[in-house]
A and B are shown apart, each in its own frame.
Chain A
């Protein structure tokens, strides 16, 4: 295979790999492709209150299970003085607070951050029991109630074709307060909630059903009581109903806390127990949400990446990851335009300094140091020093110049100039030395050309490197470097003319 074909194949493979990883990270892990995307994160706090009797106390709170349309980003428990642990048993997930001796009003908190992933369907818990326990409706005085229930069930059955439509009909009838049967039933079960009654009637109709406890996520809500939904088994799968409107499906913004099963809260050794919820929403950068949700699953792509480094190193890498982009700019300008610079990749280092100093301050400082440095270098050249010693002398001079610029500008109140320290000193010293040689050998004109070319490339590189999209992509999708690598390899194959040559060789075309 010719080297050229190898380059194309390798470049295509690299690009595919990079693009594939990027798409995976975007689609599966939720890393945003564009900067500045925000996601809503809900912070839900459950507050358990009870009055302790003075002896040992134990409170168990059912916790939400993982759900596909909700991503739990983090949870915190506050349990001052209480022993705490989370137990998982029989498909249930409960927080248990316990204390040997508790007296008076107790407050326990559980807080979690969730993020709604749009579009994901509700997961079916296939292991829920479909067993129906028929209500006991045998006593004489319940005859009327029993009649009413069976009348409701009968009417609904007539007006429906399957379990789903039946449930809808039944819930509509139960919500209709002009219906005599319904009023009779609610009159009898005065102490029970609407959902309790609905569950009872559904059991009488032989339909497996249970309650779903949850919360409507609305910003800045306090002391919410959990709300109930109904879930019925239609023979194949579980269907959720909003009981009052009788419409199927989980309402938008409904966060399911508990599904079927036991009670929400059990307290031993206390009275007047209750749990209330409060909800607030935060707009969080989409990347942070993705980071949080993946850090729990220990996604290898994220775990074995720069994100696992300490924040300080990450911010350094943020800069380092921009260097390849700068190198690409240099390659483009060299291969396609043919710009001459002093030192091939020196403009990239300059561009990095410009990122820290801001463009105009950086340009001004660079030109100032270069001019002063050249001037001093010309004097040094008359002193007959050895080259290395002379460059070392220039390094020292550059350092003194930097110090002087900092102090003078600070006293003058130009704080921007303090960023002078970001310039790489050794590189500056070498540039000064090389420029002075160019001056001696090719004249000042050539110095202006080379310094100008370097600065032009540096400014273009700076401009690209500070682009917020580029910054976002290099840091969040470092695998895009593979695409960049493939691209550079393909450019390396370019054998066409440079823009500069179109001018240089124009005499040949007549």
Chain B
């Protein structure tokens, strides 16, 4: 949570100021939202990405295509059989968290495989990675894990100008079915192609009403242009925005979790796809948006039953209307 240099830079602010602005803290998130609205028995749906995929299929929520999944330690031959015909693919652990253990291959170079950064990986490296995933290196508590091989999303080129060496994804926080806040995570050279904010990716707050950028932050400091591509974020607009928000909102029914983070990517042809859902979404989205989350969550907590029983369409309409932000200038 703490980055030492930025931690000392600029000192501390008073907790009262944060409270006044409605900033949600980690403790309040854990006690008031995750513990209260997320039932333990629903966790396996989101904690295991294979389960998420299965459940998404049931609810007709589009997801990246699953090519193969290995339940047991796969033989070298089986893995090779699966990846041999593929140009681009992603290998990930079913129960990994925080993007750990995800290996993205974007092309081939003779016998070797090419990562988005341009680095080459040998077949042996892939073997080892699969074995590590299976042994539970990336899963919580080191439990044996399953290995998924997924088709690489054919990313919509709309974000090409805003992402460097990596893939951008959109995180939407959904509370009791209502989308409350959204951000776009753009990788940078600093973040080594990863969309992880604490590693230096840019967090772009996205206005729920329009899908336009409202605010952007890198390493806790406000930025107006992408540090690598120099593109101004003010021009950024997510296409198919209403579809995307609807997809996020429908994850409420799919997972049954009251407090939820949905990670969505845009496919060139298929539109928004659900990458994964998270029962413990982080709080960096507040920094990306420059706004506290708490006031919005409390607004929905005060709703009566009738309002809470709205369908996806109505909830999205309500949120887009109510949580609209000022556009970025």
Question: From A510, which residue of chain B is reached at the shortest CB distance?
Answer: B290
Contact between A503 and B286, CB atoms less than 8 A apart: no
- For window 251-288 of B, CB contacts with A under 8 Å fall at 283, 286-287
Contact between B32 and A505, CB atoms less than 8 A apart: no
Interface assignment of B217: CB less than 8 Å from any CB of chain A: yes
| A388, A433, A496, A502: the one within 8 Å of B13 (CB) | A502
- Determine the distance from Cα of A504 to Cα of B8 in the docked complex, in whole angstroms: 10
Instruction: List the one stretch of B64-72, B126-134, B166-174 in contact with chain A.
Output: B126-134
Q: For chain A, give the interface size range.
A: 20 to 34
The residues of B that contact A500 with a CB separation of less than 8 Å are 1-2, 7
Interface size on B, residues (CB 8 A): 44
Interface assignment of B55: CB less than 8 Å from any CB of chain A: no
- Determine the distance from Cα of A509 to Cα of B124 in the docked complex, in whole angstroms: 50
- Determine the distance from Cα of A507 to Cα of B14 in the docked complex, in whole angstroms: 12
Contact between B32 and A495, CB atoms less than 8 A apart: yes
- Determine the distance from Cα of A498 to Cα of B27 in the docked complex, in whole angstroms: 8
| B14, B15, B286: the one within 8 Å of A508 (CB) | B286
Which residues does B use to contact A, with CB under 8 Å? 1-2, 4, 6-8, 10-15, 17-19, 21, 23, 25-28, 31-32, 100, 124, 127-128, 131-132, 135-138, 199, 217, 220-222, 283, 286-287, 290-292
Contact between B131 and A509, CB atoms less than 8 A apart: no
Contact between B25 and A498, CB atoms less than 8 A apart: yes
- For window 472-510 of A, CB contacts with B under 8 Å fall at 492-509
| A443, A492, A501: the one within 8 Å of B18 (CB) | A501
> What is the minimal beta-carbon distance from A374 to any residue of chain B, in angstroms?
16
Q: Which of A340, A386, A441, A505 is the most central at the interface, judged by chain B CB atoms within 10 Å of its CB? A: A505
> What is the minimal beta-carbon distance from A337 to any residue of chain B, in angstroms?
9
> What is the minimal beta-carbon distance from B92 to any residue of chain A, in angstroms?
13
Contact between B221 and A507, CB atoms less than 8 A apart: yes
- Determine the distance from Cα of A12 to Cα of B153 in the docked complex, in whole angstroms: 55
Interface assignment of A121: CB less than 8 Å from any CB of chain B: no
Question: From B124, which residue of chain A is reached at the shortest CB distance?
Answer: A384
> What is the minimal beta-carbon distance from A390 to any residue of chain B, in angstroms?
9
Contact between A387 and B135, CB atoms less than 8 A apart: yes
The residues of B that contact A340 with a CB separation of less than 8 Å are 1-2
Question: From B28, which residue of chain A is reached at the shortest CB distance?
Answer: A495
- Determine the distance from Cα of A503 to Cα of B6 in the docked complex, in whole angstroms: 8
Known A-B contacts A384-B127, A387-B132, A388-B135; the reply to A503 vs B7 at CB < 8 A is yes
Q: Can you list 9 A-B contacts with CB-CB less than 8 angstroms, sorted by A residue number?
A: A387-B136, A437-B138, A497-B19, A501-B283, A502-B12, A502-B13, A503-B11, A503-B12, A508-B286
Contact between B28 and A505, CB atoms less than 8 A apart: no
The residues of B that contact A494 with a CB separation of less than 8 Å are 27, 31
> A449-B2, A496-B25 provided; 6 other pairs, C-beta below 8 A?
A338-B2, A437-B100, A497-B19, A497-B25, A502-B13, A506-B13
- For window 177-201 of A, CB contacts with B under 8 Å fall at none
Interface assignment of A335: CB less than 8 Å from any CB of chain B: yes
Question: From A389, which residue of chain B is reached at the shortest CB distance?
Answer: B135
Interface assignment of A442: CB less than 8 Å from any CB of chain B: yes
> What is the minimal beta-carbon distance from B150 to any residue of chain A, in angstroms?
19
Contact between A508 and B23, CB atoms less than 8 A apart: yes
- Determine the distance from Cα of A509 to Cα of B291 in the docked complex, in whole angstroms: 9
Contact between B13 and A509, CB atoms less than 8 A apart: yes
Contact between B137 and A437, CB atoms less than 8 A apart: yes
Contact between A497 and B31, CB atoms less than 8 A apart: no
For the complex of A and B, 8 pairs with smallest distance between CB atoms? A387-B135, A495-B28, A502-B12, A497-B25, A506-B13, A500-B2, A509-B17, A509-B13
| B8, B31, B132, B286: the one within 8 Å of A505 (CB) | B286
Known A-B contacts A387-B131, A387-B132; the reply to A507 vs B26 at CB < 8 A is no
- Determine the distance from Cα of A502 to Cα of B1 in the docked complex, in whole angstroms: 11
Contact between A509 and B18, CB atoms less than 8 A apart: yes
Contact between B21 and A509, CB atoms less than 8 A apart: yes
> What is the minimal beta-carbon distance from A509 to any residue of chain B, in angstroms?
5
The residues of B that contact A384 with a CB separation of less than 8 Å are 124, 127-128
Question: From A507, which residue of chain B is reached at the shortest CB distance?
Answer: B220
> What is the minimal beta-carbon distance from A235 to any residue of chain B, in angstroms?
71
Question: From A383, which residue of chain B is reached at the shortest CB distance?
Answer: B128
> What is the minimal beta-carbon distance from A460 to any residue of chain B, in angstroms?
16
- Determine the distance from Cα of A428 to Cα of B139 in the docked complex, in whole angstroms: 19
| A443, A501, A507: the one within 8 Å of B1 (CB) | A501
Question: From B142, which residue of chain A is reached at the shortest CB distance?
Answer: A430
Question: From B192, which residue of chain A is reached at the shortest CB distance?
Answer: A443
The residues of A that contact B292 with a CB separation of less than 8 Å are 508
Contact between B12 and A496, CB atoms less than 8 A apart: no
Contact between A503 and B10, CB atoms less than 8 A apart: yes
Question: From B25, which residue of chain A is reached at the shortest CB distance?
Answer: A497
> What is the minimal beta-carbon distance from A413 to any residue of chain B, in angstroms?
38
The residues of A that contact B12 with a CB separation of less than 8 Å are 499, 502-503, 506
The residues of A that contact B217 with a CB separation of less than 8 Å are 507
